[in-house]
Structure 1
Amino acid sequence: MVTTCTAGPPSGRTGWPLADFVRTVFRALPRADQRRWADVYLRGLLCTPGRKTMKRLAAQICGEPSAGQALQQFITSSPWDWHTPRSVLARLAAGRLADHVWAAGTFVAEKKGDQSVGVHRRFVPGLGGTVNCQVGVGLFLTSPTEAIPVDWRLVLDGTWRQDAALRRRARIPDAVDGGSAWTCALEMAAAADTAPLRERAPLVTDLTMTGDLAGDTGVPAFGGGEFLVRVRPDHPVLEHTRGTGSSPSVAVSTAEHLIAEGGARSRVALSVYDDGCGPVEVRSAPVHLPGQRAAGAPPRRYRLLALVPPGESEQPQFWLSTLRRRDIGYAFSLMRRQRLMRETLDTLEEDYGLTDFEGRSFPGWHHHMTMVSAAYAYRRLRPGTAERLTA
């Protein structure tokens, strides 16, 4: 018998009963037992301190660790569709949040062994070395004060993309490529923009942690969407010059080198950086990205922004932009969304079990991530929080 979640929302408080939330978000699950275990798993994520293993969730909510086998079955083996609950969460978030902006963020889950789905070795700049890990990408719908996770992708390296036996064992669908974090972010934002938002929202993301590169690949799928992406100082770029046409002859440079060597076309000295972090100089230059493109197609144009603080205590930041609005204040407002999203990712890891899934199946990973999203959304989108969320 499932016990009451004593660590959940205080009794008697005006709000959204968890059972009603589960019925709303997971109503598409075809079987009653699936919806029941969704309720149990969600309560476990909300109530269990520390690591969110199946046994610990079951012991916290059901009073017996043996129920962990049923949770394991629900997450790793039960064939329920995770797309519909995520769409419901996106619609709930869109209805509660104002001034929509998409923010995508990567996270790294270090793993032991090679059995976890998507695990591979890679150099992670944010960790300062090569680690055995999973790399996930989350898409968040943000307001100026909130970031709600609504979709997830698992980055797959070459082995996971090409080894048919490995993919079958992990139950990875043939249509799933799981390429770079950049293409995952663009694809999620493009798909999510089919939700009933008032207008296509811009996308902001940061690729510096995992070392992924931004490129023209995947940009057409995003249509006319605007984006702002933070890149590493060594990100390859081509300076846009008159006469480059569709076959630029200029040498490939890096973001840092181009700015340092005076390639910037404009410099705007600002006395205050957003959030009162101090003065910063903003430099910008029109650039292209190296790589293949369709024959006869002109190179896609981007604007490289460099945020250069005074002195040597902080390193410059480099951003690629397709924003049509040129005022730097607007770009700063999007950068704040990215920081808000990163804070939310940290909270999801610390309090909601973001990196605690140990299963070997691709559907299992997506089921777990859907439950993590639902748990966080329940806490942040309950009635009574709307005034704070949209303020």
Structure 2
Amino acid sequence: MDGLTPQRQQQLRAFTAELFVGLPRADQRRWASTYLEGLLTTPGKKTLRRMAEALGASASASQSLHQFVNASPWDWGPVRDHLARWILRHHTADSLVIDMAYLPKRGSQSCGVHARYIPGQGVGSCQLGIAAMLAGRHHIAPADWALHLPAAWTENEAGRARTRVPAEVSARTAAQQALDLVDAQDRAATAGLPVVGNFVDADEIGSLVKGLTLRGREFVLAVPATVRLRTERGATVRAGQLWEAGQRAREESPDPAADWLTPPAMATATVRLMPYPGTSPSLQLMTVRPAGGSRRPQLWLSNIRDRRRMYLLAGRLDDSARLIRGLEADFGLADFEGRSYPGWHHYMTLVSAACAWSQVSRAYETV
């Protein structure tokens, strides 16, 4: 990465001043700006030492950056609210995307680190970050985060004290944390946007659907093939089985009037969730067959009846997957060196701000 021009440095400082206006001390706001510039200009891994060197800062700069992220007691919530409003001023959003970031970690001392299944990799040691992203047709940007803490962490008083987990932070499932993020973003002016989510845990789909339904939200949720559903005919099957049955029927009788539409590899069926806390609403199961038929289809549940709109919104998860890879490659998403709960949230706030500002500043350069 190259250093920022004087003009872009000035723009970044103005952005930082707006975002971190609530920080009480001028030195905090100055180090916020310095940290963002380090994330934006340091090639490779974003360690404190490498960022200080890339910025040509003093020998003590890395310690000051460490202090700002890990020990300085600033509240990340208002900063993220400012960030969400800033993103919406510069882009039109059509959805709020909730996705998972698996952040590999060695050892067991970092807050929230645990062994879990990582899609595409198998079981590994990681932190699970749950991201809230504002997405539109031509952009997607991170606005908020939750750190998943398994019961082994929330019930470990010594671990909580060592990593400074606040007393009010209790055990929450990933679905509950996703709903918390939806509520937080609503307060930051995203109320009414459909929610697009990626959930691999079949056991949590019911509570997530119920929570979004009670909030009156439209949603499109990627779900695993193991999710149990009830068809209109009263049969209880897994989502993957329903796809296989529909695929066989289509191959045996390729009826142009069948429930397939553009794109030709998409199909929908009306279903209800089983089990469900209460009476499940009527939902659409959407399946999309991958090109070439070499992989199993992607599966979504939605309460949106317009199937083309459902399909287009589901595509936001491809955008979020690319964004998470970009955050890892270009903004140091997985490079946090601290171990504390506040430090993790401070760092993810800075990474999100650097990404959002980079997107907008690049757009200005091409005008």
Fold conserved between structures, TM > 0.5: yes
Tell me the secondary structure at the aligned position of residue 259 of structure 2: strand
Letter in 2 for 1:78: S
Instruction: Find the counterpart in structure 2 of residue 149 from structure 1.
Output: 142
Change (3 A) 1:281 1:12: closer
Letter in 2 for 1:359: G
Shift of 1:97: 1.5
Work out whether 1:260 is the aligned partner of 2:244: yes
Work out whether 1:227 is the aligned partner of 2:206: no
Equivalent of 1:317 in 295, 298, 306? 298
CA distance in 1, matches of 2:76, 2:114: 24
Change (3 A) 1:143 1:351: same
Letter in 2 for 1:373: S
Letter in 1 for 2:205: G
Letter in 2 for 1:260: E
| Number of corresponding residues | 357
Equivalent of 2:229 in 238, 241, 246? 238
Letter in 2 for 1:49: P
Tell me the secondary structure at the aligned position of residue 348 of structure 2: helix
Instruction: Find the counterpart in structure 2 of residue 247 from structure 1.
Output: none
Structure with the bigger percentage of helix: 2
Alignment of 1:90-239 (within 5 A): 90-127=84-121, 129-177=122-170, 179-197=172-190, 200-208=192-200, 211=201, 213-222=203-212, 223-234=215-226, 236-239=227-230
The answer (yes or no) to whether the contact 2:132–2:145 under 8 Å persists in 1 is yes
Shift of 1:331: 1.1
Letter in 2 for 1:69: Q
Deviation by residue 1:116-151 (Cα, 9 ceiling, x = unmatched): 111000122321x11011111111111101011100
Change (3 A) 1:108 1:384: closer
Letter in 1 for 2:315: R
Equivalent of 2:347 in 336, 360, 368? 368
Deviation by residue 1:318-374 (Cα, 9 ceiling, x = unmatched): 111122xx2221012102222112211111110001111121100000000000011
The answer (yes or no) to whether the contact 1:267–1:281 under 8 Å persists in 2 is no
Instruction: Find the counterpart in structure 2 of residue 286 from structure 1.
Output: 271
Letter in 2 for 1:256: G
Percent of residue pairs bearing the same amino acid type: 35
The answer (yes or no) to whether the contact 2:205–2:223 under 8 Å persists in 1 is no
Shift of 1:240: 4.6
Letter in 1 for 2:174: A
Work out whether 1:353 is the aligned partner of 2:332: yes
RMSD: 2.7
Change (3 A) 1:350 1:204: same
Which runs of 5 or more structure 1 residues have no equivalent in the other structure?
245-249, 274-278
The answer (yes or no) to whether the contact 1:56–1:65 under 8 Å persists in 2 is no
Work out whether 1:332 is the aligned partner of 2:332: no
Change (3 A) 1:77 1:29: same
Change (3 A) 1:155 1:386: farther
Equivalent of 1:29 in 23, 31, 51? 23
CA distance in 1, matches of 2:275, 2:46: 43
Which runs of 5 or more structure 2 residues have no equivalent in the other structure?
250-256
Instruction: Find the counterpart in structure 2 of residue 43 from structure 1.
Output: 37
Work out whether 1:83 is the aligned partner of 2:77: yes
Change (3 A) 1:386 1:11: closer
The answer (yes or no) to whether the contact 1:352–1:372 under 8 Å persists in 2 is yes
Work out whether 1:54 is the aligned partner of 2:48: yes
The answer (yes or no) to whether the contact 1:285–1:305 under 8 Å persists in 2 is no
Tell me which moved more, 95-104 or 45-54: 95-104
Work out whether 1:7 is the aligned partner of 2:6: no
Change (3 A) 1:124 1:181: same
Letter in 2 for 1:364: G
- Scaled by the length of structure 1, the TM-score of the pair is 0.83
Change (3 A) 1:212 1:258: closer
Shift of 1:39: 1.1
CA distance in 1, matches of 2:78, 2:291: 48
The answer (yes or no) to whether the contact 2:268–2:284 under 8 Å persists in 1 is no
Tell me the secondary structure at the aligned position of residue 104 of structure 1: strand
Tell me the secondary structure at the aligned position of residue 207 of structure 2: coil
- Scaled by the length of structure 2, the TM-score of the pair is 0.88
Shift of 1:112: 0.8
Change (3 A) 1:240 1:268: closer
Shift of 1:63: 3.0
Change (3 A) 1:261 1:280: closer
CA distance in 1, matches of 2:355, 2:292: 40
Change (3 A) 1:289 1:187: farther
The answer (yes or no) to whether the contact 2:285–2:301 under 8 Å persists in 1 is yes
